[in-house]
Each structure stands twice: as C-alpha cells, then as structure tokens.
Chains A and B, each alone.
Chain A
Amino acid sequence: MMIDRLNIWQKIGLYIATFIFLLFILMPFIEMFRVSLRPMSHLMTADFTWWSEDFSWQAYRDMWVTVPLLGRYIFNSVFIALCVTVATMVVVIPGAYAYARLEFPFKSLSLGGFLAVNMFTGAVLLIPLYRVLRQLSLLNTYWAMIIPGVAFLIPTGIWLLRSYLEKIPRELEEAAYVDGASRLYTLRRVVIPLAVPGMIVVSTSVFIGAYAQQFLFAITFNNVRELQPLPAGLFEFIGYQDTTWNEMMAAALTGVLPVLVFFLFLQKYLVAGLTAGAVKE
C-alpha cells in the first residue's frame, strides 16, 4: 500500500528509534549475560569495561555449587505457576460462562465486585492472609504460594474469558438444548471445545501473572528452602559483601530460559489475548 510506504530516511529513523527502545528493554539482560561471563575477581577490582579477554563459562558451572538448590528453585517456580494456572482455570471457566451466557440477579454488581479485587494486591492483605494460612496449617507448603496466587488472578481471568465466550454463536448451544442435552453436557461438549483457543490465551496470561509474581508470597508465607521459587531462592544470596554476582546472573538467566523459550512459541497467543481483552472494552 502506498500509505505504508516509507522513504529511506524515515526507515533509518524508525530503525534507530526501535533499536534505542529495544536497547532499554533488553539492556539488563545483556548486562546480566556479560557479567555472568566474567570471573568475580576481575569484576570487583577493575573499572567498568565493555569487553575483556577473560570471558568464560565458569560461572555456569560454579553456580550449581554456590546455589545447591538451583535446580529445585527452577522446578518450584514452574510447578507453582502451573498449579496456579490449572486451579485458576478450573474456577474461571464456569464463572466466565455464567457471565457470558446466563442472566441472573446481581450479575453486573457481582462482576464489578470481582473486578474491584484488582484494587488489592496480596501485599495489602498480608497480615490476615498470614493468619488464615496459619489456621489452615498451610504455611511453609506449596499451597501457601498457590492459593493466594489463584485468588488474585481469578477476576482478570473471568473478565478475559468472558469476552471470548461471548463470541461463540449462541445458536450452537440452543441446537444442543433442542436435541435434549443437559446444561452441563452442553457446557462440556459444545462450549468448551469451541472455547479452546480462548482458554489457551487466558491460561497463558494467567501463567505469566503467576510466574512473574511469586516473590512476595514466597518470602512471606514460606521459609522452607526446598520449596522456594527461583526469585525468592536467589534473593537469599544477594546484597551481601561477598555476593558472587557473576554466578547469580548465570543462575537467574539459566532459571528463566526454559520459560522464555516456551513463550517464544506461544507469543502469537499472547498478542491475541491482549487483542481480545483490550479491544473489546
């Protein structure tokens, strides 16, 4: 299209601007990688330099000794996020269906109530939450990090999935009813299969929410090392005089790599999810 045509200077300008923008976004990762390649003694003694001759992968071997539970932390992070995602979806699917399809008293009021939950983060409610979890004897278990996570992701999940379900033609369901199918059967056999793309999108964004924000609940409700997710596990080693920064950076990058690669494959769904959520309202 003519309208999209850019002259060579506009193109160069846009590339430079995009480069600067992405540099801001990626700089911490580039720097973490650079640090992870350098021996600690050189990092601490020399002035800042861009490039040096001493690059090596040594930190990627040493980190397993310095952080003996690193493998466990990486597993915990993914495991907790997966559990949160599954539990959230189990609760969100029927809820979103009710809001998309059924009429009932207090419908918009209760939906508004759900959305108001967004105003609280776990941090505001930590004190009583701590007591609830202690009463249920869930402190220092995986549950202490899973259950609060689920509660705070339900509202957005319902909101997002509802907009997907509303796009499924009502006639299909009515046809099933006419054929004598029960409501639950229709939900299971007609609605859910049609909603699969939407559910992938919503569970992906729930997973991101659960994976990105495990730190607070982990440092507050859990002090069993073996159960800590990656950020909380690494945080223990950071901020002291003798922090081996190169190994910490190596561990951090190694820890997020599996999930990052996984998201590269799912990025199509991520953007689709945003489109549904954002453009709708």
Chain B
Amino acid sequence: MANTGQSAPIMARSGLSEAAFAWLLISPALLFIGVIVAWPLAETIRLSFTNATLGGEEYIGLANYAELLSSPKFYDTVGRTFYWMFLSVSLKLVMGLIGASLLNAALPGKALFRILVMPPWVIPVAIGVIGWKWMYNGYFGLISGLLQEFGIIQDRVALLATKTSAFYSAVVTDVWVGTPMVTLFFLAAMQGVSRDLYEAAWVDGARRWYRFRRITIPQIMPVIVSMALLSAIWTFNSFEIIWILTEGGPRGATTTLIIDTYKVAISSQRFGEGAARAVVIVALLALFSLAYLYFLNRVNRHYGAK
C-alpha cells in the first residue's frame, strides 16, 4: 500500500493520470456490477414499498413489511434459516478440518485422495442433488435400504416426506456439497504452515494432537474465520439444494428465507411482497456480517494477533 512514491515516474509519462487510468481499467467491472447487481438492488428496495404484480404496481408504503412482521410464520422462517445456516456451516467446518487433516497426512496415495474429494465441487450442484434425491426415497433408496438392513428401522422410510427428516436430509446434502471446497481451502492453508514450527514442537516432545491444537489450528485460523463467513453467506442463500429436494416442503419444513422469497416473487409473481423479503435477507446478512467482523476484531485485539 505504501508504494505511491514508486509509481510517480509512471504517472509523469502519459497524458492520463494514474487515477483516471485505474478507473478506466475497473470501469467494465463497475458497469457490470452496476447494471446486474446495484441497480436491481435499488429496484428491489423500491419494489418492496409497492404491491407490484404482473398487472401493475402501486405505492403502498410499509405495508409489505408490516405484514411480514406481524406474521408468526415469517418469524419461523427466519429462525429456521439461521438454524439451517449455523448447523450446516458448523458441520462443513468440522468435516473440512477432518478431511484436510486426513488429506494432509503423510500417507501413500494422498495425491489420489485429493482428487477423489473434488467431484461434488466441480460438477453442477443440481446434478449431485438429483443423486441425493434418489437416495432419500423410501421404496428403493439407498439410505432407507441400509437402515433397514442394519435393523435400525423396521419399515421403509421416505426421508423427504416427514418434516424433521426432510430438514436434516437437506442439511446433510448441503454439507456434502460444501465440504470439498472447505476441505481443499483448509488443506491449502495447512500446507502453508511453516514446518519449523512443527519440528520445534516435535523436538520438545509435543504429541500429534497437541501440535494440531496448538500449531495447526491457530496458524490456519485466518482461513477458518474467512471461510466461515463466506460459507455462512452462501448457506443462508442456498437455493438449488432445497428446491430440488423438497421445494421447501413438506408443509414448510425446509422453507428458508430464500425459498420463501422465490415462491412469493417468482412462483406466484407477487413481486412487491417478494421484494420485501429480499430486502430482509440483505439486511439480515449485512447485520450478521458486521456483527461477525466486529466480534472478530475484538477477539483479535484481545489476543493481540491478526
């Protein structure tokens, strides 16, 4: 950041100032984001104060928000979304840590294992979810079949048909989709940890588990922390997985905010009401991110390390 002085001779040459040239270079990106993200966002906010449908729109003030805030069902949805996010993200982080540690071990064959962990991440999410949808079915699905075989359940069970099992089934699939990427990020971070630290600890007689807790975890903490936030945002907005498995059912058991928004705005074309929900999502995520970063900052300051 402190290299302004170095580029002075560059500035001197051409007619364009450095700042103007920089803005010229980022202008295509700005234009894209402006048209596809910023303007639609502003438009979403505007629409949330209207009763827009396909037919037309009319300004109705805060009516959409008032309706949301007075609906117990909506609070359920918000609560469910946060529960979905916390559960799924925690599991992804745990699975990622376990996976990365396994793939990082000095085992013959680790190169192959690293390749084998990738498929769920590099294929279209929807394709993997179609596979899960099959596995969850009650008549001839793998999971029901295995549970019967091991005598855990007596009868066939259609996992997506009852409320509780549908929700946790969706969580498992979401964790499955997210785990490879988290694993590979953590693996990359673990490989960046200096070997000297491990060797020094080893010479001092530190055992593996101790080295993992006292060296690996603190060293890759920055990656864990940023991955947790990114993953939380993605999981909060995760659409395809739930949509393909259950479309938010049965009886709303898997309806998160994003599913609710899609149903209202796109399926029933009540744009105004849908927009209000979208604004709530953005506001909640912004608040969550700020709170997260704020606490992170305090924790960092407390421990005196970045």
Contacts and interface: CB of A to CB of B under 8 A. Distances in A.
B133 A238 contact: yes
Contacts of A127: 40, 43-44, 47, 265-266, 271, 274-275, 278
Nearest to B99: A21
Interface in B124-145: 124-128, 130-135, 139-142, 144-145
A130 B275 CA distance: 13
Given A26-B116, A94-B26, A114-B33, A213 B240 contact: yes
B192 interface: yes
Interface residues of A, number: 108
Interface stretch (A55-63, A96-104, A192-200): A96-104
A206 interface: no
B305 interface: no
Interface string A168-182: 001001100110001
Interface in B1-35: 3-4, 6-7, 9-10, 13-14, 16, 18-19, 21-23, 25-26, 28-30, 32-33, 35
Interface in A96-151: 97-99, 101-105, 107, 110, 114, 117-121, 123-132, 147-148, 150-151
B198 A215 contact: no
Interface in B201-250: 202, 222-223, 226-227, 230, 233-234, 237, 239-240, 244
Contacts, number: 303
Contact of A274 (B47, B98, B99, B188): B188
B234 A121 contact: yes
A8 interface: no
Binding site of B, secondary structure by majority: helix, strand, loop or mixed? helix
20 contacts: A14-B105, A18-B113, A31-B142, A43-B140, A98-B22, A117-B33, A117-B37, A118-B233, A120-B282, A123-B261, A124-B237, A125-B36, A125-B44, A127-B43, A151-B32, A174-B6, A234-B126, A256-B124, A274-B184, A278-B188
Given A97-B25, A124-B237, A182-B13, 20 more contacts: A2-B202, A17-B102, A18-B107, A25-B117, A47-B148, A103-B18, A118-B233, A127-B266, A128-B41, A131-B43, A132-B35, A147-B36, A183-B21, A212-B121, A255-B127, A259-B122, A259-B123, A263-B122, A270-B184, A278-B185
